[in-house]
Amino acid sequence: MIGRLNHVAIAVRDIAKASETYRATLGAEVSDAVPQHAHGVTTVFITLPNTKIELLEPLGADSPIEKFLQKNPDGGIHHICYEVDDIIAARDALKGKGARILGDGEPKIGAHGKPVLFLHPKDFNGTLVELEQA
């Protein structure tokens, strides 16, 4: 069921500063910042040879990233994202095994324009997991 690691998401307070750290200090290829209004975040993607890093900055006070940063003021890893071939089949199989799907259980369109779901961190060793249809 689980496919390749699509990205690791890192919550940051200042996406421009964090982007510059990856660009100038690490020499990484860094995308432009893109507001994702439906998810309450601004995203930047850092392209690596084998995966991506997603930087997440809150987009408003109601952003889930704002809540994360209140608990983790220095930022940090927010979630990991795995690809799946069929997000509905993956969702149904996971639910059948007792995993909890966050929200209403229906896929939403994510930052890559593909369907995504989030899995409860308590079911995955304290890690918020995003599934993205490949």
The one catalytic residue among 54, 57, 83, 130: 130
> Is there a contact between 81 and 5 (Cβ–Cβ < 8 Å)?
yes
> Is there a contact between 119 and 128 (Cβ–Cβ < 8 Å)?
yes
Give how far Cα 109 sits from Cα of 21, 87, 126, 133, Å: 29, 12, 24, 10
User: What is the model's pTM?
Assistant: 0.93
Query: Could you read off the pLDDT tens digit of each residue along the chain, which spans 134 residues?
Result: 899 999 999 999 999 999 999 999 999 999 999 999 999 999 999 999 999 999 999 998 899 999 999 999 999 999 999 999 999 999 999 999 999 999 999 999 999 999 999 999 999 999 999 999 99
> For the chain, how many structural domains are there in total?
1
Task: Based on the residue annotation, tell me whether 130 is a catalytic residue of this protein.
Answer: yes
Domain of residue 92, residue span: 5-133
**DSSP-derived secondary structure for 12-55:** -S-HHHHHHIIIIIT--EEPPPEEEGGGTEEEEEEE-SS-EEEE
Nearest to 34, CA basis, from 56, 52, 51: 56
The pLDDT score that the predictor gives to residue 1 is 87
The kind and range of the H/E element at 9 are strand 5-11
CATH of the domain at 9: 3.10.180.10
The pLDDT score that the predictor gives to residue 88 is 98
